[in-house]
């Protein structure tokens, strides 16, 4: 099968239709841009870590015209963008529930625009763009991956529960 645009598919993820490179990257960008709405007039800091997720976020930011400041500790920021993906948030939530380890404190000015992007999608993005990618390997990560294999979309269900409990 091919992509809906007619090109041969290059991305085969269980929760997405088969997509070519261009359609896949555009799908990710659309989801991130949805999270970034309303930031055009704000003083924004990007907490970057040179990961493939940060590269994707910087790419989207450059296309949106959102001006991102360099880390200047003397300055205060209206918004801080953190490149946490869905898997990071799920692991933080499960760590909090299972081990009582408090996750990084949420703040009204911290935004996680990649929260709807999975590790598999970041891994595919890195492969397509020839970027280095290092998978997280800890006990909780393995647990979540096994859960996802048995119950596709389990990550998003856990994430939805986490966000409902935060309210």
- Please report the domains of the chain, with CATH numbers, ordered by start residue: 21-166 (3.40.50.620)
pLDDT for res 166: 72
Which candidate, 49, 109, 133, places its Cα nearest to that of 84? 49
DSSP 32: H
pLDDT for res 31: 93
pLDDT for res 153: 83
| Contact in structure between 28 and 45 (CB atoms under 8 Å) | no
CA distance 67 to 40: 7
- Total count of residues recorded for the chain: 167
pLDDT for res 39: 78
Please give the helix or strand (H or E) that residue 119 lies within, else none.
helix 119-128
CA distance 129 to 162: 32
Tokens 């920021």: give the residue: 77
Which candidate, 64, 51, 21, places its Cα nearest to that of 122? 51
pLDDT for res 79: 85
Regions in the chain scoring below 70 on pLDDT: 1, 41-42, 70-74, 103-107, 167
Tokens 């890195």: give the residue: 126
pLDDT for res 7: 95
């Amino acid at each position: 099968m091919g992509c809906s645009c007619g090109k041969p598919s290059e991305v085969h993820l269980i929760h997405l239709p088969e997509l070519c490179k261009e359609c896949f990257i555009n799908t990710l960008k659309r989801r991130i841009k949805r999270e970034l709405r309303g930031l055009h007039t704000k003083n924004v800091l990007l907490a970057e870590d040179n990961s493939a997720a940060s590269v994707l976020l910087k790419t989207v930011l450059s296309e949106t015209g959102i001006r991102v400041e360099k880390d200047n500790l003397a300055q205060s920021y209206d918004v801080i963008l953190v490149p946490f993906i869905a898997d990071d948030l799920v692991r933080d939530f499960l760590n909090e529930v299972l081990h009582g380890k408090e996750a990084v404190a949420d703040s009204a000015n911290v935004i996680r625009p990649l929260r709807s992007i999975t590790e598999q999608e970041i891994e595919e993005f890195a492969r397509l763009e020839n970027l280095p990618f290092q998978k997280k390997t800890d006990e909780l990560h393995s647990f979540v991956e096994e859960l996802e294999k048995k119950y596709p979309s389990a990550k998003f269900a856990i994430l939805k529960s986490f966000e409902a409990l935060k309210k």
